[in-house]
Structure 1
Amino acid sequence: MRVAIVHYWLVAMRGGEKVVEALCDMYPDADIFTLVCDESRLSDKIRKHKIITSFLQRIPGAVRAYQSLLPLMPFALESFDLTDYDLIISSESGPAKGIIPPPQATHVCYCHSPMRYLWDHYHFYRSHAGLGSRLMMPMLAPLLRSWDVSTSLRVDRFVANSHHVCDRIGKYYRRPAAVVYPPVNVDDFTPASSTEDFYLCAGQLVSYKRVDLAIEAFTRMKRNLVVIGEGRQLEELKRNAGPSITFLGHTSFAVLKEKLARCRALVFPGEEDFGIVPVEAMASGRPVIAYGRGGALETVIPGVSGVLFEQQSADALIDAVHEFEAIEHQFHPATLLAHAEQFSRHRFIAGMQAIINEELLTRRADRLRNHRPVAAMQLGLEAQLPILAAKPHETTLQ
């Protein structure tokens, strides 16, 4: 069985790429198709596979400014030749499911999210975009939405990374989806023997992550906050930060692991489809202070694995920090680690393998029903045309 993994872009190692790594373990001979790729920023596990990029890769600066090429992405995806593949697994968020699968192939889509900037986050993205994007988005977005919905019909089976995303798949594509939580390498994290007096905010520094709320809140409280990550907002966040805020930029995994284990709590102020970093914090024995929307509702249990705040504002976050500090002694590393185990990599692989095997068997059974043996077709014809059933010696010529 020839397997293709289709991922939107491979330019960093974030949550989506961790899913690709797990899929690579499931199918070690699979080929990977992606719009653009920066191999220098990928793991050895992904680099071992054959990686096929689209024509966008040949555009100067595409690897750095890939998001500006969104109008060309449908053409690039449909240019991939997947004729010889039996199983196609698309890792969708960017987009990826828009490939053209051959008739005999089974196409399973693991959906991190319907494209946020076209659907539920459209107005937020447009309001935070540059002048050119703000002018172009109202003209391009309807066309891209139509393409996005139509390509959902090219998928045989949807798998969502959370119930939150499952609901959005149902809303925008009118398709059901199974839920398999993304793989978190919980075994890579270890609780520390002691903590230090700082909170942690880690992730990509882009507008929808709302790191700006954490900066404002902890500057006002004069509490220590360590920020790990890079992105377009970095310089703006630095300008607004007070002396209690420390920026570490892009760090090694060793530094991230150490900070997760020693912080008082992870601060997670954005609305995420799932959110892997909060589970990594729990696997490190630390609780999470999170905005109570999206995937956080499926991982953060108030009083057990963290604290939730209802309004996405600095005031609400400040109140949540005070609430956390009042009950900080109630959070136990062993309980947090046990809670994180339900999002392990092993569970992801087992869940995905079961769904893929079921879909392969279902499609095989469908093909057998639709392509009956010639003898069975002959019997059907004979039932409708009795003269064809007559034996040769019973047939007379007039």
Structure 2
Amino acid sequence: MRVAIVHYWLVSMRGGEKVIEALCDMYPDADIFTLVYDESRVSEKIRKHKVTTSFLQRIPGAIKGYQSLLPLMPFALESFDLSGYDLIISSESGPAKGIIPSPQATHICYCHSPMRYLWDHYHFYRSNAGFASRLMLPVLAPLLRSWDVNTSLRVDRFIANSHHVSARIGKYYRRPATVLYPPVSVDDFTPAAATEDFYLCAGQLIPYKRIDLAVRAFTKMNRNLVIIGEGKEMESLKRLAGPTVTFLGRAPFSVLKEKLARCRALIFPGEEDFGIVPVEAMASGRPVIAYGSGGALETVVPSVSGMLFEEQSMEALIDAVHDFEDHEAAFRPDILRAHAAQFSLRNFTEGMQAIIDEELLARKPVSPRSNNRSAVAIQRLFEGQFPAPATETPQRVATTEPVTVHAPTF
């Protein structure tokens, strides 16, 4: 069986790329297709596979500015020749499912999210976009939405990374989706013997992550906050930050692991489709203070694995931090780690394999010789209702009476 893995772009190692790594373990001979590829910024596990890029790769500056090429992405995805593959697994968010599978192939889409910037986050993205994008999006977005919905029909089975995403797939694509949480390498994280007096934010520094709320809140409270990550908001966040906020930029895994284990709590102020970093914090024995929306509602259990605040505002975050500090001693690292274990790599791999096997079996072609008696009975029923034409054309009889054709009754 030839297997193709389609990912939107491979330019960093985040949650979506961790899913690709898990799929690479499941299918070590699979070929990978992606819009643009930065070999220096992905893991060795991914680099071992044959990676095919689209024509976007040849555009100067595409690796850093790939998001501005959104109007060309449908053409780039449909240019991939996947005619020789039996199983196609698309990792969808950016987009990826828009490839053209052969009629015989089974296409399973693991959906991290329908494209946010076209659907539920459209107005937020547009308001934070540059001048040219704000002008073009109202023209391009309806066309891209139509393409996005139409290409959902090319998928045989949708898998959603959370119930939150499953609901959005149902809303925008009118398709059901099986929920399977993404893999988290919980065994790579361990609690520290002691914590330190700082809170932590980790992730891309982009608008919808709402790191600005954490920067404002901790500057006002005069509490220590460490931020790990990079992105276009770095400079604007630094201008907001007071002396208690520290930016580490893009940090190696060893630093992230150490900070997760030693922080008082992880601050998670954005709405995410799932959110892997909160589970990594729990695996490190540390609780999470999160905005109570999206995937956080499926990972953060109040008073067990963290705290939730209901309003995405600086004031609500400050109240949540104060509430957490009043109950900080009640959070136990062993309980947090046990909670994180349900999101393990093993659970993802076993669940993914079961879904793939089920879909392959359902689409297995049936031999003509295996027709059962019911099929034969249906054929005979049709033969009785619609007899084969006579070898000689009967003489036409003129009549003025209306002719009624009775459809077969089942």
Q: TM tier, shorter chain?
A: over 0.9
- The CA deviation at 1:374 is 10
Aligned to 1:45: 45
Q: Give runs of ≥4 in structure 1 deviating > 4 Å.
A: 374-383, 385-388
- Deviation for aligned residue 1:340: 0.2
Q: Give, in angstroms, the shift of residue 381 of structure 1.
A: 7.8
Following TM superposition, by how much is the alpha carbon of 1:384 offset from its aligned partner in structure 2, in angstroms?
3.3
Tell me, in whole angstroms, the C-alpha distance in 2 between the residues paired with 1:340 and 1:37: 31
Aligned residue in 2 for 1:393: none
The answer for the alignment partner of 2:140 in structure 1 is 140
Match of 2:402 in 1: none
- Tell me: CA distance 1:171–1:375, structure 2 relative to 1, closer, same or farther (3 Å): closer
- Paired position in structure 2 for 1:291: 291
Q: Distance in 1 between matches of 2:84 and 2:195?
A: 54
Alignment of 1:337 onto 2:333:
no
- Cα root mean square deviation, aligned: 1.8
Where does residue 368 of structure 2 map in the other structure?
372
Which amino acid in 1 is paired with 2:383? Q
Q: Aligned ranges for residues 42-191 of structure 1 at < 5 Å?
A: 42-191=42-191
TM-score calculated relative to the size of structure 1: 0.94
In the other structure, the counterpart of 2:395 is none
Helix, strand or coil for the counterpart of 1:25?
Answer: helix
Instruction: Provide the rounded CA distance (Å) in 1 between the counterparts of 2:163 and 2:381.
Output: 52
Larger Rg: 2
User: 1:277 aligns to what SS in structure 2?
Assistant: helix
**Alpha-carbon distance in structure 1 between the residues aligned to 2:86 and 2:380:** 33
Query: Gapped runs of 5+ residues in structure 2?
Result: 389-410
Partner of 1:273: 273
Amino acid of the structure 1 residue aligned with 2:244: S
In structure 2, the residue matched to 1:310 is 310
What SS class does the counterpart of residue 63 from structure 1 fall into? helix
Q: Letter of the aligned partner of 1:305 in structure 2?
A: S
Shift of 1:373: 3.5
| Cα distance in 2 between the residues matched to 1:183 and 1:375 | 42
The amino acid across from 1:169 in the alignment is: I
How far residue 383 of structure 1 moved from its aligned partner, in angstroms, is: 8.7
Name the residue aligned to 2:328: 328
Cα drift, residue 372 of structure 1? 1.7
Flag the 1:300–1:383 CA change in 2: closer, same or farther, 3 A: closer
Alignment match, 1:9 = 9
Residue 361 of structure 1 corresponds to 361
Alpha-carbon separation, structure 1, partners of 2:141 and 2:205: 24
Alignment of 1:384 onto 2:380: no
1:160 to 1:387, Cα distance in 2 relative to 1, 3 A: closer
Rounded Cα–Cα distance in structure 2 between residues aligned with 1:200 and 1:357: 40
CA distance in 2 between partners of 1:52 and 1:252 (Å): 27
Alignment of 1:231-270 (within 5 A): 231-270=231-270
State the identity as a percent. Answer: 76
Alpha-carbon distance in 1 for matches of 2:326, 2:184: 29
Cα distance per residue 1:266-317 (max 9 Å; x no partner):
0000000000000000000000000000000000000000000000000000
Give, in whole Å, the separation in 1 of the partners of 2:30 and 2:229.
31
Name the SS for the 2:368 alignment partner.
coil
2 CA distance for matches of 1:337 and 1:223? 26
Q: In the alignment, what sits opposite 1:394?
A: none
Rounded to whole Å, the distance in 1 between the matches of 2:137 and 2:324 is 41
1:116-142 C-alpha deviation (Å, 9 max, x unpaired): 000000000000000000000000000
The DSSP-based 3-state class of the residue aligned with 1:193 is: coil
- CA spacing shift, 1:314–1:374, aligned 2, 3 Å: closer
Q: CA deviation at 1:378?
A: 9.8
SS in 2 for 1:73: helix
Query: CA offset at residue 375 of structure 1?
Result: 9.2
The structural deviation recorded for 1:115 is: 0.2
Q: Deviations over 1:190-238 (max 9, x none)?
A: 0000000000000000000000000000000000000000000000000
SS, match of residue 64 in structure 2? coil
Partner of 2:398: none
CA distance in 1: counterparts of 2:130 and 2:381, whole angstroms: 70
CA distance in 1, matches of 2:113, 2:102: 24
